C-alpha cells in the first residue's frame, strides 16, 4: 500500500532525484518543478536529457556523491539504483525520507480526476501515446507520462490540466501496485522480467492485484484475445470492458480489416455487435489494431466523441524507437524499433515484411539483459522466421552483470538452427560495415532492442 502524501513534503527543501536523467524520472522532476517544488538531482553521465533539465532550471550533478544529498527534504530513486549507492546511504544517515519512483508516481496520480494507467507486457508506450493523441484531439488538455519521445508533445511528458493523466504502468518489481488508477488498459500478459518474477502464474497474480486497485466506479479495459488477461480480470470489483480481434464475445471488436502498402490498417469498429466507427491507423501491424481497440473503448468511457476518436487515431504516427524511420543506406530503409521480447519481435518483423514488399528484411538484434536472454532463449530462437538475415550483437546488460551463462553467440546459433539466417558479429563498427557491404535497394534494415542498438542506424545513415 502506498501511503505517501506529496503535499506533506517540506516545501523549503529540495526533492532530489537519483538518476534524474532517466526517461521517467526526468518527466516527474519537470512536473514537480512546474508545481512549485524545488527540484534537483544526479546522474552518472551527461546526456541530452540532463541538458534539457538544466535548461528548465533543474540542477543536475554528474556522478553519484554522498554530499549531493545535503539539504534535500525528500529523495526519489528507481528500482535500478543499487542499495549501496552513496547518495541513498547518505539519505539514510541523515534520516531523509527516500522513496521509489513508483511511490512518487502513485502519489502524483491522486492529484488527477481521471488517472489512466496503461499496463501489459508489450505495447505500453505505443498505446499510451495513441490514447494521448485521442485526448489531445478532443482538446481535453491531458497530462502525459510516456516511456518514449512522442513528437506530438515534444518529448516524454506533457504537463496539462488535472482532469486527465495518461501514463504507463510497469509491472517490473511490482511497481504498479503503488499506483491509484481510475481506469486501466491491460494489453497482454506474458513471461518477462524473470529476474524478478518466478513464473507466469506469479505475473498474472501481480496483474490481478493491480486490477484490484481500480475502484468500483472505475473500469479495466481488457484484451480478451489474451487468456492471461482474462484470468487477471476475472472477478474484478470494477467494471470489465473487453475488446478483442479474434473473439466475437468481447464488447469491442474489429472486422473488415484491410492493410495498405505501408502496413497501416483501416477497419470497422463494433461496440456490442453494432457499428461504432470506421478507424484508420497511421502505424503498421495487426498488434496496433488491437491497441487501437483498447484506446477506443477507453476513450468512449471518457466521453470522447466519435469524430475526435477517429481524428486522434489517424494523427498518431508513432513514437521514437517504435518502428521509426531513420534514413537510407545503399537504397535500403533503416528503421529502429524498441522490441526486445519474442512477441514484440514477431509483431515488428511482420510489419517490416509487409513494408518491404519484394525487398529483404535484415534485423540487427541487441539482446536486452542476461536473464531475459537465458530464460527466453528458446522463444527468441523461433521469433525471427519472418526475417531474411539476423545479426546478433552483444547483450546489453542494463541493470545486470554477466553471469557467464549466456552469450550472444548462443542466441545466434539457436536462431540459426531454426531459420538458417543468423550470425553473431562483435562490435557496432563491424556490424555497420557488414550492412553497408551487403544491403541492396529495396531492403529494410531494422535495428532492434531496448539498449543502444539505435546507434548502428545512425552510423549507417550519416
Task: Please state, in angstroms and rounded to a whole number, the distance separating the CA atoms of residues 217 and 219.
Answer: 7
When pLDDT is averaged across residues 303-321 and rounded to a whole number, the result is 93
pLDDT at 391 over 70: yes
> 116-170 pLDDT, tens per residue?
999 999 999 999 999 999 999 999 999 999 988 899 998 889 999 999 999 999 8
pLDDT class of 399 with cuts at 50, 70, 90: confident
Residue 15 confidence class, pLDDT cut points 50, 70, 90? very high
- Catalytic annotation, pick one of 87, 103, 127, 168: 168
Cβ neighbours, 10 Å, residue 84: 7
- Is residue 444 pLDDT above 80, yes or no? yes
Average pLDDT value for the chain: 93
Does domain 324-461 fall under CATH 3.90.190.20? My reply is yes
What is the average per-residue pLDDT within 181-205? 89
What local confidence, expressed as pLDDT, does residue 1 receive? 59
Burial profile 299-329: b = 16 or more Cβ within 10 angstroms, e = fewer: bbbbebeeebbbbbbbebbbbbbbbbebeeb
Q: What are the tens digits of pLDDT across the range 341-351?
A: 898 899 899 88
Mean pLDDT of 100-107: 94
Residue 352: pLDDT over 70:
yes
Evaluate if residue 68 carries a pLDDT over 70: yes
Cell of 241: 470492458
168 carries an active-site annotation: yes
Is the CB of residue 111 less than 8 Å from the CB of residue 162?
yes
pLDDT band for position 251 (cuts 50, 70, 90)? very high
The full set of domain ranges for the chain reads 9-99, 110-315, 324-461
Q: Is the pLDDT of residue 420 over 80?
A: yes
pLDDT, residue 17, reads: 97
Q: What is the pTM of this model?
A: 0.82
Position 81 confidence tier, pLDDT thresholds 50, 70, 90: confident
- The catalytic position among 33, 124, 178, 333 is 124
DSSP H helices in 15-84 = 23-34, 48-55
Contacts (Cβ under 8 Å, ≥6 apart) of 287: 122, 123, 347
Q: Is 343 marked active-site?
A: no
User: Considering the domain 9-99 in this protein, what is its CATH number?
Assistant: 3.40.50.720
Pairing of strands 361-365, 389-392: parallel
Per the annotation, the verdict on 190 as an active-site residue is: no
**CATH match of 110-315 with 3.40.50.12780:** no
Amino acid at each position: 500500500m502506498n501511503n505517501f502524501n506529496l503535499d506533506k513534503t517540506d516545501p523549503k527543501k529540495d526533492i532530489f532525484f537519483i538518476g534524474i536523467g532517466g526517461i521517467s524520472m526526468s518527466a516527474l522532476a519537470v512536473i514537480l518543478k512546474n508545481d512549485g517544488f524545488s527540484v534537483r538531482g544526479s546522474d552518472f553521465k551527461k546526456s541530452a536529457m540532463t541538458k534539457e533539465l538544466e535548461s528548465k532550471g533543474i540542477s543536475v550533478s554528474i556522478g553519484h556523491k554522498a554530499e549531493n544529498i545535503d539539504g534535500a527534504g525528500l529523495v526519489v530513486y528507481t528500482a535500478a539504483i543499487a542499495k549501496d549507492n552513496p547518495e541513498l546511504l547518505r539519505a539514510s544517515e541523515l534520516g531523509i525520507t527516500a522513496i521509489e519512483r513508483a511511490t512518487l508516481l502513485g502519489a502524483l496520480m491522486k492529484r488527477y480526476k481521471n488517472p489512466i494507467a496503461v499496463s501489459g507486457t508489450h505495447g505500453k508506450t505505443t498505446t499510451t501515446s495513441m490514447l494521448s493523441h485521442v485526448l489531445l484531439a478532443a482538446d481535453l488538455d491531458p497530462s502525459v507520462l510516456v516511456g518514449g519521445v512522442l513528437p506530438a508533445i515534444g518529448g516524454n511528458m506533457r504537463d496539462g490540466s488535472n482532469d486527465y493523466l495518461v501514463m504507463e504502468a510497469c509491472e517490473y518489481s511490482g511497481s504498479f501496485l503503488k499506483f491509484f488508477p481510475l481506469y486501466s488498459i491491460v494489453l497482454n500478459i506474458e513471461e518477462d522480467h524473470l529476474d524478478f518474477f518466478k513464473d507466469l502464474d506469479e505475473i498474472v497474480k501481480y496483474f490481478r492485484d493491480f486490477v484490484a486497485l481500480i475502484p468500483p466506479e472505475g473500469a479495466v479495459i481488457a484484451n480478451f484475445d489474451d487468456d492471461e488477461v482474462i484470468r487477471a480480470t476475472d472477478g474484478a470489483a470494477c467494471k470489465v470492458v473487453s475488446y478483442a480481434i479474434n473473439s466475437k464475445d468481447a464488447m469491442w471488436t474489429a472486422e473488415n480489416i484491410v492493410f495498405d502498402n505501408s502496413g497501416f490498417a483501416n477497419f470497422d469498429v463494433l461496440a456490442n455487435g453494432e457499428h461504432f466507427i470506421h478507424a484508420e491507423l497511421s502505424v503498421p501491424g495487426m498488434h496496433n489494431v488491437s491497441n487501437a481497440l483498447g484506446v477506443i473503448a477507453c476513450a468512449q468511457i471518457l466521453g470522447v466523441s466519435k469524430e475526435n476518436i477517429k481524428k486522434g487515431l489517424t494523427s498518431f504516427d508513432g513514437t521514437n524507437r517504435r518502428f521509426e524511420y531513420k534514413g537510407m543506406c545503399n537504397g535500403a530503409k533503416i528503421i529502429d524499433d524498441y522490441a526486445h521480447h519474442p512477441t514484440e519481435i514477431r509483431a515488428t518483423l511482420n510489419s517490416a515484411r509487409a513494408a518491404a514488399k519484394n525487398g529483404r528484411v535484415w534485423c540487427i538484434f541487441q539482446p536486452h539483459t542476461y536473464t531475459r536472454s537465458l530464460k527466453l532463449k528458446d522463444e527468441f530462437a523461433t521469433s525471427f522466421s519472418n526475417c531474411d538475415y539476423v545479426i546478433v550483437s552483444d547483450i546489453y546488460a542494463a541493470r545486470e552483470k554477466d553471469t557467464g551463462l549466456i552469450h550472444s553467440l548462443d542466441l545466434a546459433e539457436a536462431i540459426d538452427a531454426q531459420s538458417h539466417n543468423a550470425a553473431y558479429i562483435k562490435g557496432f563498427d563491424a556490424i555497420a560495415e557488414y550492412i553497408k557491404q551487403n544491403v541492396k535497394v529495396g531492403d529494410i534494415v531494422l535495428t532492434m532492442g531496448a539498449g543502444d542498438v539505435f546507434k548502428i542506424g545512425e552510423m549507417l545513415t550519416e
